Structure 1
Amino acid sequence: MRRGTIPYLLTALAAALALALVPPPASAATSGRHHGTGRQGWTGTWEAAASATTTQLPGQSVRNVVHTSVGGRAARIRVSNRLGTTPLELGAVTVAVQKADAPKSPAAVAGTVRRVTFGGAASAEVPAGEDAVSDPVPLRVPSDANLLVTLYTPHDSGPATYHRSALQTSFIAPDGDRTADDDGTAYSATTSSWYYLTGVDVLGAPAVGSVVALGDSITDGSGSTASANHRWPDRLAARLRALPPRERLGVLNAGIAGNRVLLDGTGPSALSRLDADVLSRSGVRAVIVMEGINDIKGNPNQTDPAAFAAAYRQIVAHAHARGIRVVGGTITPYGGNGGWTAAREAVRQSVNDLVRHGGIFDAVADFDATVRDPDAPDRILPAYDSGDHLHFDDAGLQAMADGIDLHSLTAERPRPTGGPADAA
Structure 2
Amino acid sequence: MNMRRGYATLAGVTAVIVLICSAIYLGVEAAQGRTAVRTAVGSPAVWVGTWAAAPVQADLQDTARGDRSVRNVVHTSIGGSAARLTLSNLAGREPLHIARVSLALRAGTTAAAVPGTLRRVTFRKAEAVTIAPGGQFVSDPVTLGIPYNGDLLVSIHTPADGPVTLHPRARQTSYLADGDRTDDVSGDTYTEQTFAWRHLTAVDVLTQDVRGAVVTIGDSITDGVTSTIDTNRRWPDRLFERLNAHGTEQFAVVNQGISGNRLLLEGRGPSALARFDRDVLARPGVRTVIVAIGINDLLRASYEPDAASVTAGLTQLARRAQARDLRVLGATLLPCAGHHRCTRAVQEARQDINAAVRSGRIFDAVVDFDRALRDPYAPGRLLPRYDSGDHLHPSDAGFARMARAVDPARL
TM range (shorter): 0.7 to 0.9
Secondary structure at 1:404 match in 2 = coil
- Paired with 1:82 and 1:150, the residues of 2 have a C-alpha distance of 19
Specify the alignment match of 1:328 in structure 2: 330
Q: 2:340 aligns with which of 325, 330, 338?
A: 338
1:170 to 2:174 alignment? yes
C-alpha deviation, 1:317, in angstroms: 1.7
Secondary structure of the residue that 2:274 maps to in structure 1?
A: coil
Cα distance, 1:231 vs. partner?
0.3
Q: 1:148 aligns with which of 134, 153, 168?
A: 153
Q: TM-score normalised to the size of structure 2? A: 0.88
Map of 2:84 onto structure 1: 76
On the 8 A contact 2:20/2:44 being kept in 1, the answer is no
Amino acid at match of 2:293: E
Compute the displacement of 1:280 (Å).
Answer: 0.7
Aligned-partner residue type, residue 285 of structure 1: R
In the alignment, the residues of structure 2 paired with residue 180 and residue 314 of structure 1 have an alpha-carbon distance, to the nearest angstrom, of 46
Q: Do residues 273 (structure 1) and 275 (structure 2) align? A: yes
Q: Does the 8 Å CA contact 2:239/2:253 hold for their aligned counterparts?
A: yes
Task: Indicate yes or no: 2:107 matched with 1:107.
Answer: no
Pick the aligned partner of 2:138 from 118, 133, 138: 133
AA at the equivalent of 1:359: R
Deviation at 1:180, TM superposition (A): 0.9
Amino acid at match of 2:148: S
- Report the CA distance between 1:217 and its aligned residue: 0.3
Distance 1:301 1:109, change over 3 A: farther
Q: What residue identity is the alignment partner of 2:221?
A: I
Inter-CA distance 390–235: structure 2 relative to 1 (3 Å threshold): same
Of 177-186 and 294-303, deviating more is 294-303
How far residue 58 of structure 1 moved from its aligned partner, in angstroms, is 1.5
Q: CA deviation at 1:40?
A: 2.6
**For residues 231-310 of structure 1, what are the structure 2 equivalents within 5 Å?**
231-242=234-245, 245=248, 248-301=250-303, 303-310=305-312
Question: Aligned residue for 2:192?
Answer: 189
1:50 aligns with 2:55: yes
Q: How many residues align?
A: 372
Structure 1 Cα separation of the partners of residues 20 and 375 of structure 2: 57
Decide whether the 8 Å contact of 2:386 with 2:397 is kept in 1: yes
Question: Would you say the 8 A contact 1:212–1:253 is kept in 2?
Answer: yes
1:399 aligns with 2:401: yes
Among 380, 383, 389, the residue aligned to 1:387? 389
Q: Which moved more, 1:207-216 or 1:307-316?
A: 307-316
Query: 1:65 and 2:73 equivalent?
Result: yes
For the 8 Å contact 2:91–2:134, the answer to whether it is kept is yes
Determine helix, strand or coil for the equivalent of 1:21. Answer: helix
Deviation at 1:302, TM superposition (A): 5.8
Runs of 4+ in 1 over 4 A off after TM superposition: none
Deviation of the 1:259 alpha carbon: 0.3
- Counterparts of 1:389 and 1:305 in 2: how far apart (Å)? 21
The 1-side partners of 2:304 and 2:73 are apart by 36
Partner residue of 1:315? 317
Question: Does the residue aligned with 1:351 lie in a helix, a strand or coil?
Answer: helix
Q: Which has the higher contact order (CA 8 A, sep 6+)?
A: 1
- Offset at 1:204? 1.1
Residue 173 of structure 1 and its aligned partner are, at CA, apart by 0.7
What SS does structure 2 have at the residue aligned with 1:118? coil
SS across alignment from 1:112: coil
Aligned to 2:345, the other structure's residue is in SS state helix
Q: CA deviation at 1:323?
A: 1.4
User: What CA distance in whole angstroms lies between the structure 1 residues aligned with 2:261 and 2:302?
Assistant: 13
| 2:96 counterpart letter in structure 1 | L
Q: Report if the CA contact (8 A) 1:39-1:207 is conserved.
A: no
Structure 1: 5+ residue runs without aligned partners? 1-17, 24-37, 410-424
Q: Give the aligned CA root-mean-square deviation in angstroms.
A: 1.7
Distance across 2 between alignment mates of 1:363 and 1:393: 25
User: Partner residue of 2:13?
Assistant: none
| Structure 1 pair 359–379 and aligned structure 2 pair: CA distance change class (3 A) | same
Select which of 112, 117, 123 maps to 1:118.
123
Q: In 2, are the aligned partners of 1:333 and 1:368 still within 8 Å (CA)?
A: yes
Amino acid at match of 1:391: H
